[in-house]
Amino acid sequence: MRAFLATTIGVACTAALALPFAVPTGAAAHSGRSARPAHPTASQLPGSTRNLPLVPLSAPTVTHGTDRAPGAPAEQGLSARQVAPFSLLGVTWDNPAADLDAAVQVRTRAAGTGTWSGWRDVQAHNDDAPDQDGRTGRGATAPLWVGASDGVQVRVRPAAGGDRGAGSAAKVVPLPGGLRLEMVDPGDDGPVTPATPAVPATPATAPSAPVTDPSAPATTPATTPATTPATTPATTPATTPATTPATTPVLDDRGVESAPGAAPVTELPALTKEETAATAAGAPYVGARPRIVTRAGWGADEKLREAGFVYTNTVKVVFVHHTATGNDYTCSGAPALIRSIYRYHVESSGWRDIGYNFLVDKCGNIYEGRAGGVAKPVMGAHTMGFNTDSAGVAVLGTFTSSSAPAAAVKAVSQLAAWKLGLHGGNPTGTTHLTSGGANLYAKGTSVKLNVISGHRDGFATECPGTKLYGQLGSARKTAADLQGR
């Protein structure tokens, strides 16, 4: 996704700004699902997604665009208000093919303290996406992690565009229709604490367990609202391979269904290179499988995603991303951040599942992303035009002006060495993928790519951030070394 601006505009202020204690008339949070029990059962994991329609903040302008709302206002947003607790937000709109050419800014109130943040920029373009063919759902900004919050204010200001004649003002680019604020509550972690387990008892040749973040303060869990809102159902693009039967079985690391009633596995331990080779079907160069926190480990609610799985043929390229959600999270809070991204992709954007195949936190913990089996070629929604025969690995954070931590880059190398090795990929090599169509390469174009590429190599974007992109060279070399090349 494009570079995320983590700037804070203005100075944070206290709650001297009075807020309404109820959402104003006409701006009630959408909540179309039936209310859940106050005490969820084991099959009803906590968390919710709520949305509020944006309203005009200034006089409307006349528009003539075919994919824009007629009479769209020059600026839309929400006044400061109290809302149900949430930790991640974004803005969505009706037409996923329409661009939001605007500055999106938010300020939030910290839950429990009443302290307001300054204005923060939200990346207006979410460049991680399914391929164009059959794409449905909603357009969306990148999500922004703000931590446990109970107040919000939003403004969306259209960019000036078009030709400027002498003495004439710049044309205002109209906003797409159906703009709304999405607020995600990830819920409490509950009994599962997968992000910082003990070091597995493996031989010295096994990859070391990721470091933890013991000095980081504990995060404040978001309160679970009593109701669950309406969501846009995710759909499967018509051009993707056939899905497996519409069931939600427990899968092992190879994507094999476990016995009925088996308890979910919260992590897959690191294996030695020898142990990995024994399960790699004779692959000549394969890195040792690193420890991976499963979907059960980070608390995925499997009822949210579409049933069944979609696979591609192989994995020829690993695309590295940053989530552009900001760096203000602790490693113990990474599961909540991932649950929030999952809900934002599925409930807010209308995708079938979380878009990334894997995610990595700044302490080097690796998490399973899209469902279907970590060793299988699961088709993701991460690099529009090149989701076929690839895997997407997203490092949690924003790495435009700051480098990714060494532990995160090492984890990307370990994951790539294993995942590419299963499919015969050389991390320092190149290969070709055929574009499915996007903003950089026309559909049908054969494109030469590094086997470990950045998102920007296949899509016109600044993702994975200038700094992380510059670290991919060392990641390629490390991954090749881990494969024994």
Per-residue pLDDT tens for 292-338? Answer: 999 999 999 999 999 999 999 999 999 999 999 999 999 999 999 99
Please give the Cα distance from 248 to 369 (Å, whole number). 15
pLDDT tens column, 198-242: 333 333 333 344 444 433 433 333 333 333 333 333 333 333 344
Sign of the Cα torsion 396, 401, 405, 410 reads positive
Residue from 339, 340, 375 nearest 357 by CA: 375
Please give the Cα distance from 80 to 466 (Å, whole number). 34
pLDDT tens column, 365-421: 999 999 999 999 999 999 989 999 999 999 999 999 999 999 999 999 999 999 999
Asked if 53 and 153 count as a contact pair (C-beta separation under 8 A), the reply is no
pLDDT tens column, 428-457: 999 999 999 888 899 999 999 999 999 999
Please give the Cα distance from 29 to 399 (Å, whole number). 33
Residue 97 clears pLDDT 50, i.e. is over it:
yes
* Beta-strand pair 180-185/76-93: antiparallel
pLDDT for res 386:
94
pLDDT for res 45:
64
Region 174-184: mean pLDDT is 95
* Beta-strand pair 144-158/119-122: unpaired
Residues in the chain: 485
Residue from 294, 295, 276 nearest 286 by CA: 276
pLDDT for res 190:
54
Confidence band, pLDDT 50/70/90 cuts, at residue 148? very high
Please give the Cα distance from 119 to 105 (Å, whole number). 6
Please give the Cα distance from 95 to 68 (Å, whole number). 9
DSSP 3-state percent helix, strand, coil across the chain (nearest 5): 15, 25, 65
Pick the more confident residue, 372 or 256.
372
Q: What is the DSSP letter of 243?
A: B
Q: Which helix (H) or strand (E) holds 408?
A: helix 406-422
Residues 6+ apart with CB under 8 A from 360: 366, 367, 393, 394, 395, 396, 408, 411, 412, 415
pTM, whole model, 2 decimals?
Answer: 0.78
pLDDT tens column, 44-66: 567 999 999 999 997 555 444 44
| Least confident segment among 79-88, 172-181, 389-398 | 172-181
State the chain's mean pLDDT as an integer: 79
Pick the more confident residue, 424 or 65.
424
pLDDT for res 199:
35
Please give the Cα distance from 28 to 55 (Å, whole number). 12
> How many alpha carbons lie under 13 Å from residue 150 in its C-beta half-sphere?
18
Please give the Cα distance from 361 to 407 (Å, whole number). 9
Asked if 332 and 135 count as a contact pair (C-beta separation under 8 A), the reply is no
Asked if 414 and 440 count as a contact pair (C-beta separation under 8 A), the reply is no
pLDDT for res 69:
54
- Return the CA Rg of the chain: 22
What's the one-letter identity of residue 265? V
Confidence band, pLDDT 50/70/90 cuts, at residue 259? low
pLDDT for res 245:
39
Residue 341 clears pLDDT 50, i.e. is over it:
yes
pLDDT for res 390:
97
The answer to whether the bond into 464 is cis (omega within 30° of 0) is: yes
Asked if 156 and 91 count as a contact pair (C-beta separation under 8 A), the reply is yes
Query: In degrees, to the nearest 5, what angle opens at C-alpha 104 toward C-alphas 358 and 163?
Result: 115
pLDDT for res 169:
55
